[in-house]
Amino acid sequence: VTEWFEQWFGEEYLKLYPHRDEEDAARVVALMARHTGLTDRRVLDLACGPGRHLEQLRLVGAHAVGFDLSMPLLSRARHRGSATLPVVRGDMRYLPFGAGSFDVVVNLFTSFGYFADDAQHMAVVREVAAVLRSGGVFVLDYFNAHYVLTALVAREERAIGSQHVVIERRISEDRRFVVKEMHLMDDGRRFVERVRLFTPAELEHLIDGAGLRIRHRFGDYEGRSADNGSPRVLLFSERP
């Protein structure tokens, strides 16, 4: 069976998320630069997508490698900006890098929580821990489930670029996922996104379970502290 995340992250994803731009990427990279240091560090951008953070990481002097499952998004990442950026294709549950290969691993803009079974989410964090050197840092940037539950817009109709799109959002019956359906009205296609409603405490539990230690928690890209009203949660953890 093809999983939703194998189908959705291609050209249509890029068209429907045009507001996720360079500026947004530069803000989160600046936050990471302040709190972990990035210059001359070996950085893995796990689920790099079209590479907007890779380019910013390169600009602050990091040696960044992009990793993603989507061929169309990786080819964007590779030819972004002036340089050719190193990218690797694969599945985040099985990282093809040696133990201790990276100083920093980042997973940005909710590029996690896509699997049906939580053992697979745990497997991802364990893979991250294995490729980090001792003292290396993992940065996880996820939505805040408390905020998503109060702010959920059930139905929305919008023009995005040249597309007329109806977006429907709901919480799954078992309450474990937020499900977003996008209907492209012009050609009748529909796409679905299904992301695990992990609370910040559950994310910390996963990170802790992989042997990493939480060092910082933020509620947005400006570095404000996290509470139930924060739109996001950014967890910085360290491999002992």
Ligand X SMILES: C[S@@+](CC[C@H](N)C(=O)[O-])C[C@H]1O[C@@H](n2cnc3c(N)ncnc32)[C@H](O)[C@@H]1O
What are the residues binding ligand X (CB under 6 A)? 5, 9, 20, 47-50, 52, 68-70, 73, 91-92, 108-111, 114
- Cβ contacts of residue 60 below 8 Å, gap of 6+? 29, 30, 33, 38, 39
Shortest Å, Cβ 52 to ligand X = 5
Shortest Å, Cβ 64 to ligand X = 12
Name the residue nearer to ligand X (CB basis): 68 or 220.
68
Name the residue nearer to ligand X (CB basis): 47 or 64.
47
Shortest Å, Cβ 21 to ligand X = 9
Name the residue nearer to ligand X (CB basis): 93 or 216.
93
Name the residue nearer to ligand X (CB basis): 21 or 227.
21
* Alpha-carbon span 233 to 78, nearest angstrom: 28
Shortest Å, Cβ 75 to ligand X = 12
* Alpha-carbon span 209 to 121, nearest angstrom: 11
Which residue number places its CB atom closest to ligand X?
Answer: 49
Give the angle 57-58-59 at the CA atoms, nearest 5°: 90
